[in-house]
A and B are shown apart, each in its own frame.
Chain A
């Protein structure tokens, strides 16, 4: 009897069965870019401490930070921080109770995805 009554009920949905949406992708990117800043922080703090300690330490740190690998990491971090910056403004707008309609939220998400590379390029041109 108990056996017969067992039916296949839907389980609560997991992350991998959701269709990727603009709002979920932008949210995941926000998390990745924020936490990835740990790498840039380590490089920048190392560079600052080395500059304070002395010439030799500075040469080592600066050599790494301005190497092709260091440049690559910092450029990706720049892209990440600009994305996180724009996403943060999006969150501040939401927290004020505005732009919460799905359409508007998606448009703002698109603005972040396009705005981040644009700001990165502008930054690289200016500095």
Chain B
């Protein structure tokens, strides 16, 4: 009797020798986003259009700030994975590498800027 899991039997096979982690990551992040996105839409939507003072007050509260932070991190990592597939489908060679790099820079920079803003808002509110 061999003690092999189904995953272990499949890992590394297939023409690309990989990709299961990518599918798993997309599944995991999309499941999280099913909950996070509506929460973000309604928290962000309810404060958008208010005065600066109200925005400071609102985002110094833990729930709206944590929802925004989680949505940005999980959402942008999900975005990066999806954008990478789009790029790999329609471009090749150096163009592909450069575009994936741009997508990575965009995603991680947006995460960093968003988290910086949320921390600053939380501390000064």
- Which residues of chain A are within 8 angstroms of B79 by Cβ–Cβ distance? 34-35, 37-38, 41
B34 touches A85 (CB 8 A): yes
Given A35-B83, A89-B34, A92-B27, check contact A51 B46 (CB 8 Å): no
Q: How many residues of B contact A (CB 8 A)?
A: 36
Q: Within 8 Å of chain B (Cβ to Cβ): is A112?
A: no
B52 touches A81 (CB 8 A): no
Given A31-B86, A85-B34, check contact A49 B116 (CB 8 Å): yes
Q: Within 8 Å of chain A (Cβ to Cβ): is B55?
A: yes
Q: How many residues of A contact B (CB 8 A)?
A: 33
Checking B30, B56, B59 against A91 with a beta-carbon cut-off of 8 angstroms, the contacting residue is B30
- A interface secondary structure, majority: helix
- Which residues of chain A are within 8 angstroms of B68 by Cβ–Cβ distance? 48
A45 touches B45 (CB 8 A): no
A37 to B116, CA, bound (A): 20
- Which residues of chain A are within 8 angstroms of B46 by Cβ–Cβ distance? 127
Given A51-B55, A127-B42, check contact A34 B82 (CB 8 Å): yes
**18 A/B residue pairs, CB under 8 Å, sorted by A:** A34-B83, A35-B79, A35-B83, A42-B110, A48-B68, A48-B118, A52-B116, A52-B120, A52-B124, A53-B120, A55-B52, A58-B55, A59-B52, A66-B49, A85-B33, A92-B31, A123-B41, A123-B45
List residues of A whose CB falls within 8 A of some B CB. Answer: 31, 34-35, 37-38, 41-42, 44-45, 47-49, 51-53, 55, 58-59, 62, 65-66, 74, 78, 81, 85, 88-89, 91-92, 95, 123, 126-127
> Beyond A52-B117, A58-B55: 6 further Cβ-contacts under 8 Å?
A34-B79, A45-B72, A48-B121, A49-B116, A51-B52, A81-B37
List residues of B whose CB falls within 8 A of some A CB. Answer: 27, 30-31, 33-34, 37-38, 41-42, 44-46, 48-49, 52, 55-56, 59, 68, 72, 75-76, 79, 82-83, 86, 106, 110, 113-114, 116-118, 120-121, 124
